[in-house]
């Protein structure tokens, strides 16, 4: 396991509990140290962590960090021939395809397998896992995936990241729709909590309305999935759209809204805090 952050920690812990021999590395060693009581070996470098591994999971900040850890910090020198690298980070599809090609050149297999479900899904093993790569490599990783959630093979290298971008487009846009609708009701004099309750079960119901809508009602914007991460994903979606000649005007609008929220000091709050940006625009506390 390379990367023991908000998502890497519960995933690594679950694999330890499931009986896997886990070696862990993190840029900040104290985060990896939390795994020692669960039987993990904590390593000083990525190369040490992967030296005996059949399967390597990376859960890192973005594509540049994944590239740096894999190809500039000695990880590739430590990998065993035939090892399988499963990148569960959220990066651009073209980056995933590039990493897969470079690893294949040294005899190492690759899947891009980002996840959806957040820290709650990681803790409860209910993650949606979207995997791109060769079917045989997906089947090889399936037993590990099934300890973490529901895996689906969605296509060749890069396809997992495309599916993740689709997921994040829908999440970001729907957060905005829920926030704007609830704020409209509050501005007009309705009870926002009661409106959310009233539309539950109708066509407007969704996981976003249930989870993020409740956070908006409670003004609970403690970070689970940060505005900064949502913005990164929207920007990756727009970059990919430009690469393939696809027009995405709705995503473009929400990229701007999340960027403005970040500029206004909300970057490290939960992505449901887009509510705060929209409230501010309307002169609402």
Task: Name the residue among 131, 149, 139, 77 with its Cα closest to residue 108.
Answer: 77
Cα angle: 265, vertex 266, 267; to 5 degrees: 100
Question: How many other β-carbons are positioned within 10 Å of the β-carbon of residue 75?
Answer: 26
- Token representation of residue 223: 């970070």
Contact present, 105 and 126 (Cβ < 8 Å): no
Give the active site residue among 31, 164, 223, 232. Answer: 164
Helices 227-244, 159-188: inter-axial angle, 10-degree rounding: 120
Task: Name the residue among 208, 262, 268, 195 with its Cα closest to residue 235.
Answer: 262
Known catalytic residue at 164: yes
Contact present, 134 and 109 (Cβ < 8 Å): yes
SS3 210: helix
SS3 106: coil
SS3 19: coil
Q: How far apart are CA 59 and CA 93, in angstroms?
A: 15
- Token representation of residue 85: 């690298």
**Residue positions annotated with a catalytic role:** 164
């Amino acid at each position: 396991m390379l990367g023991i952050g908000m998502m890497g920690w519960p995933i690594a812990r679950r694999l330890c509990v499931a009986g896997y021999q886990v070696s862990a590395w993190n840029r900040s060693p104290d985060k990896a140290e939390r795994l020692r009581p669960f039987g993990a070996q904590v390593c000083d470098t990525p190369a040490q962590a992967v030296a005996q591994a059949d399967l390597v999971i990376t859960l890192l900040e973005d594509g540049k960090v994944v590239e740096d850890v894999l190809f500039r910090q000695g990880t590739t020198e430590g990998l065993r021939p035939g090892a399988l690298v499963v990148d569960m980070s959220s990066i651009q599809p073209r980056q995933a395809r590039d990493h897969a090609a470079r690893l294949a050149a040294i005899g190492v297999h690759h899947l891009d397998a980002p996840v959806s479900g957040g820290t709650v899904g990681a803790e409860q093993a209910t993650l949606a896992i979207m995997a791109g790569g060769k079917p045989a490599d997906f089947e090889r990783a399936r037993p590990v995936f099934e300890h973490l959630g529901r895996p689906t093979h969605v296509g060749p290298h890069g396809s997992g990241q495309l599916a993740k971008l689709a997921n994040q487009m829908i999440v970001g846009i729907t957060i905005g729709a829920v926030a704007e609708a609830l704020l409209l009701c509050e501005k007009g004099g309705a009870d926002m909590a009661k409106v959310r309750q009233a539309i539950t079960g109708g066509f407007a119901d969704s996981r976003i309305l249930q989870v993020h809508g409740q956070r908006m009602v409670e003004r609970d914007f403690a970070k689970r999935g940060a505005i900064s991460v949502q913005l990164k994903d929207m920007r990756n979606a727009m970059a990919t759209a430009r690469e393939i000649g696809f027009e995405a005007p709705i995503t473009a609008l929400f990229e701007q809204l999340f960027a403005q929220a970040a500029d206004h000091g909300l970057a490290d709050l939960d992505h449901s805090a887009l509510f705060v940006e929209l409230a501010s625009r309307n002169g609402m506390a």
